[in-house]
Amino acid sequence: MPRTTRRAFLCQATAAARAWEGRQKIVSVRAAPLPLIPTSRFGTREFKSDHDPARWRWFGPFSQLAGAILVQIRTDQGITGYGMGGGGTAAIHIIENHLKDLLTGANALNVEMLWEQMYAASSFYGRRGLAVMAISGIDLALWDILGQHAGQPVWRLLGGAVKERIPAYYTGGDFERAGKLGFKAFKMGLFEAGGGTDKESRERLLAALRKARGIIGADARLMIDCLCRWNVEYTLEFAQRAADVNLYFIEEPLSPDDLAGYQRLCREVKGVRIASGEHEFTRYGFQELLHHQAAHILQPDLTWGGGLSEGRKIATLAASDGVPVMPHRGGSLFAIHLVASHPNCPMAESFGTGEPGNEMMERLTPPFENGFYLPPEKPGIGVDLPAAVLKKYTPALAG
């Protein structure tokens, strides 16, 4: 991508100004489940007893990528926008039985006004969780329409790219393969080494991290995702015992609701950062994290935490407090526009890259080259979903 010249800057500014001009009347709002990973990846519903630990780990069909949905919005001018949301069929129900009423007939270019209307209208039962997951998919589809209407990729409408290539970190279990792909930062999940909080589980996890450090080398960044399963004392002890591994951050060690616990961790932990926010919602939730100094790194997920409209507000709020933002699944097409355009987003988490995936996930991933994502050049979000792909993965949206 060439260096931004004065002429290019003026062209970007003109495109951004024109993006909101005119009218794109919404004539259709549909959503469908988006099967990117099986529900079983995050637990099982087969329990041995009432006290089976698996009961605390059965996240069900509405969480994470198992609950991903694809929102499709069409306008009277022939533009179709796509956005990924969360919440599975429960969020789809909210879209079809409530939010669609606010959208049909409205001007799709009034993106942020529509966000505020949806948020206000669902606030008596929403504010977090399923309602915001549904709004997220809609918001991203509207930004897709806005970019296509302007004939520009969304990152240009956000002010242009602040980096030509976006450093990526790999999340998964095959660090050797990821290293060959050019990744220089790696994150392990607890499912790679067990998730208990007993001494034996801790030692297995430490052994797995030391093995990983041996694979990736001393100069690479190494992180761990704790899946909200620890407590403060265990996290502090683990951080001390893992000092030789030189972790860059520990992600979500506590319940998202343990604000006081995160505050204490950020105050007392040594030699490692605490990352959180993957399961927080909207700028209001992140304002609380920042106010209480409860995270060293924020990780909003744009596909269920409020969409791009909220993501850019969160990144700006965090920048004023000197807290970097590394969006969860930042290497998807739905988040890469924020990472590319905002100076407070230093890295993008991998989205399917280096993992066994499917054609749909590949189509929702920006160009990747030797450890870096590249800003997509296609107008809008950059999603390209031919009828055959829709029919295979989301048949309800193929017609």
Q: Which run of H or of E encompasses 362?
A: helix 359-363
Supply the DSSP string of 90-151, one letter for each residue. Answer: HHHHHIIIIIHHHHTTSBTT-HHHHHHHHHHHTTTT-SSTHHHHHHHHHHHHHHHHHHHHHT
Tell me the β-bridge partners of 83.
71
Q: What angle do CA 112, 142, 314 make, to 5 degrees?
A: 45
Instruction: List, as own/partner pairs, every contact residues 196-203 make where C-beta atoms lie below 8 angstroms and the sequence separation is at least 24, other chains included.
Output: 196/53, 197/229, 197/230, 197/231, 197/234, 202/234, 202/237, 202/238, 202/241
Question: What end-to-end distance do the CA atoms of the chain give, in Å?
Answer: 37
The CA distance from 204 to 99, in Å, is 47
Helices first, then strands: H and E counts in the chain: 15, 12
Catalytic residue among 149, 279, 296, 328: 328
Smallest CA-to-CA distance from 269 within 250, 297, 289, 256 is with: 250
- And the tokens for 343? 């100076």
The CA distance from 160 to 173, in Å, is 34
List phi, psi (to 5°) of 233. -60, -45
Q: Is 389 exposed, middle or buried (0-12, 13-18, 19+ CB in 10 A)?
A: middle
List phi, psi (to 5°) of 25. -70, 130
Assess whether 328 carries a catalytic annotation. Answer: yes
> Which active-site residues does the annotation give?
328
